[in-house]
Amino acid sequence: MSKKQDKTQKAAIADLALDFSSGFKYEPAPESSSHVKLEKQYELFIDGKWVAPIDEKYFETTSPATEQVLSRIAEASAADVDKAVKAARNAYENVWSKISAKERGKYLFRIARIIQEKAREFAVIETMEGGKPIRESRDIDVPLAANHFFYYAGWADKLEYAFPGKKANSIGVAGQIIPWNFPLLMAAWKIAPALAAGNTVVLKPAETTSLTALKLAEVFQEAGLPAGVVNIVTGAGATGAAIVNHPDVNKIAFTGSTDVGKIIQKAIAGTNKKLTLELGGKAANIIFEDAAIDQAVEGIVNGIFFNQGHVCCAGSRLFVQEGVADKVIKKLKDRMKSLIVGDPMDKNTDIGAINSKEQLKKINDYLKIGVNEGAEIFQPACTLPKKGYFCAPTLFLHTSQSHRIVQEEIFGPVLAIQTFRTVEEVLEKANNTPYGLSAGVWTDKGSKIFNMTTKLKAGVVWANTYNKFDPASPFGGYKESGIGREGGLHGLLPYLSLS
């Protein structure tokens, strides 16, 4: 090839690269919050009624994007939790276990329908309080939450088909503790199968994201769900501990960090409480040379930057096969330059606000750790809003297995990249972690997909896709990523005892 030809070709390639910074300007497209009804103060939802906490303690909930106070939330003490458990026990013994499974299911169908009717309100509140982009609340969190109730509604009167050779019995009162990354969706993941299986519930949302769970309580009232079947107690760690340690709770379901999960597993030792844990992860997202590269790049972006990386199954460790590493990293950097970081209420926003000041500090600490460990950092130029908690999407290149940013869960938009040569090497590296929640594989070769998906020690494996969720699809981890599954037929088992 002559020099001249080479030059022309390079120029042609340069022309194809889109210059997003100057060529495209997005006008603000904010979602309106005018139709949202929020109280100034929320009480505890116990026995079908709104009850003030015994200690009369409240805490403020703020928007992580604007730092404005949205509402005041009751803080449940151990005495309040006890009231809630008593209400749940009473509802279990006298109401919920007495009505027919068909009727039980119909309540859940009704709840699903009301969530759909109020989808816009739920989405807006979720984004206001949690900081996630409105597009994600609107298109993923809220529809999936409704779908979850709808899916499990149908199971209520079909449990005898789920576990052959056994009779499926409800357990009693389920204590459920959920995180702040998918507040409404996690509430649905927990409550829907518990109720379908015939149990009653005491649920604690995360202290930074209580509002959609409390709005969900309003839905339960509207649906006519019998009093005490679901009780919602708001508060922080101490409230959660009171649920875990309550002697009349038969089952604990927790989603959150592996550290807290271990504390809970220890706390219930010897009690006969059933346990489901959905804990942390450090998923490998593996790109082979024969992958469809453009799709893979989209998958990497969705894998780590979805929900600001506040996802336990986030693809936070990227493994790229050497032959395509330069190409993939170049395309990934280009794609990152086009991500819009900012107001989560804006419909064009890709990366919203970090959920809390504490979480932002944790992420920033890890960015320092990564740099100090000698990894090469890359962040696209982007202007972060002055108010609120924001973090630019971040890559770390030249990382190795021993780096803390490769080993530890950051729970933010931070990707650690390594390269590999062979299948054996990448399997060894991918599985070399105490976690085992999820993994991603990108290749156009079918037999390679099945080789990888079989050998990766992870509960969910996405091949040529990433971060997909569905009520019919069981979710949960191997090893220190948790115990038990949520979703699908397998998600019923943790809420039943078989005899």
Partner 1 sequence: MAATKTTTKPSANGTASKAETTAKNERLAVLKTYKIYINGQFPRTESGRYYTIKLSNKEQVNVCLSSRKDFRNSVSAAREAQEKWAGKTAYNRSQILYRIAEMLETRRAQFTEELVNQGASAAAAKEEISIAVDRLIYYAGWCDKFNQVFSSVNPVSSSHFNFSSLEPTGVVAAIADQNSRLLGLVSIIAPVIASGNTIIALASTQFPLSAITFAEVLNTSDLPAGVVNILTGEVSELLVPFTTHMDVNAVYINTNNQQDKVTAETNAALNVKRVKVEASIDWTLPKNEDPYRILDYTEVKTTWHPIGI
Which residues have CB under 8 Å from 342's CB, separation 6+?
349, 351, 352, 384, 385, 390
Which stretch in 50-58, 254-262, 341-349, 403-411 sits in contact with partner 1 by CB under 8 A?
254-262
Among 17, 434, 444, 445, binds partner 1 (CB under 8 A): 434
479 binds partner 1 (CB under 8 A): yes
Tokens of 433: 């972690």
Distances in Å between the Cα of 241 and the Cα atoms of 31, 172, 188, 251 are: 37, 19, 21, 13
458 binds partner 1 (CB under 8 A): yes
312 assigned to active site: yes
Q: Name the 3-class secondary structure at 475.
A: strand
List 312, 313, 391, 486, catalytic entry = 312
Minimum distance of partner 1 from residue 439's CB (angstroms): 10
Minimum distance of partner 1 from residue 176's CB (angstroms): 18
If residue 272 lies in a helix (H) or strand (E), which one and from where to where?
none
| CB hemisphere CA count around 215 (13 angstroms) | 27
Q: Name the 3-class secondary structure at 452.
A: helix
List 121, 126, 129, 278, catalytic entry = 278
Minimum distance of partner 1 from residue 410's CB (angstroms): 20
The region that residue 326 occupies, defined by phi over 0 for left and psi between -120 and 50 for alpha, beta otherwise, is alpha
Residue closer to partner 1, measured from CB, 23 or 165: 165
463 binds partner 1 (CB under 8 A): yes
Which stretch in 14-22, 110-118, 326-334, 482-490 sits in contact with partner 1 by CB under 8 A?
482-490
258 binds partner 1 (CB under 8 A): yes
412 binds partner 1 (CB under 8 A): no
| Sign of the CA dihedral running 365, 366, 371, 376 | negative
Residue closer to partner 1, measured from CB, 23 or 270: 270
How many other β-carbons are positioned within 10 Å of the β-carbon of residue 458? 24
Residues within window 271-330 making contact with partner 1, judged by CB under 8 A: 277, 279
380-383 contacts at long range (C-beta below 8 A, 24 or more positions apart): 380/333, 380/336, 380/337, 380/339, 381/21, 381/337, 382/339, 382/340, 382/341
109 binds partner 1 (CB under 8 A): no
Minimum distance of partner 1 from residue 168's CB (angstroms): 12
270 binds partner 1 (CB under 8 A): yes
DSSP string over 207-252: TT--HHHHHHHHHHHHHTPPTTSEEE---SHHHHHHHHH-TT--EE
Residue closer to partner 1, measured from CB, 269 or 381: 269
Distance CA 471, CA 150 (A): 9
399 binds partner 1 (CB under 8 A): no
149 binds partner 1 (CB under 8 A): no
476 binds partner 1 (CB under 8 A): yes
Minimum distance of partner 1 from residue 255's CB (angstroms): 14
Residue closer to partner 1, measured from CB, 116 or 464: 464
Minimum distance of partner 1 from residue 363's CB (angstroms): 24
Q: How does strand 376-378 pair with strand 394-397?
A: antiparallel
Minimum distance of partner 1 from residue 445's CB (angstroms): 12
44 binds partner 1 (CB under 8 A): no
116 binds partner 1 (CB under 8 A): no
Minimum distance of partner 1 from residue 143's CB (angstroms): 9
141 binds partner 1 (CB under 8 A): no
Size of the site for partner 1 (CB under 8 A): 46
Residue closer to partner 1, measured from CB, 206 or 483: 483
The region that residue 224 occupies, defined by phi over 0 for left and psi between -120 and 50 for alpha, beta otherwise, is left
Residue closer to partner 1, measured from CB, 420 or 462: 462
Which stretch in 225-233, 244-252, 322-330, 470-478 sits in contact with partner 1 by CB under 8 A?
470-478
Distance CA 357, CA 85 (A): 32
166 binds partner 1 (CB under 8 A): yes
> Phi and psi of 469, rounded to 5°?
-135, 150
451 binds partner 1 (CB under 8 A): no
168 binds partner 1 (CB under 8 A): no
Distance CA 219, CA 224 (A): 9
Residue with tokens 């170049």: 330
261 binds partner 1 (CB under 8 A): yes
Q: At what angle do helices 293-305 and 322-337 cross, to 10 degrees?
A: 60
Tokens of 333: 């950097």
How many other β-carbons are positioned within 10 Å of the β-carbon of residue 490? 15
Active-site positions?
278, 312
Which residues of the chain form contacts with partner 1 (CB under 8 A)? Answer: 147, 163-166, 258, 261-263, 265-266, 268-270, 277, 279, 434, 449, 453-454, 458-465, 468, 470, 472-476, 478-483, 485, 488-490, 498
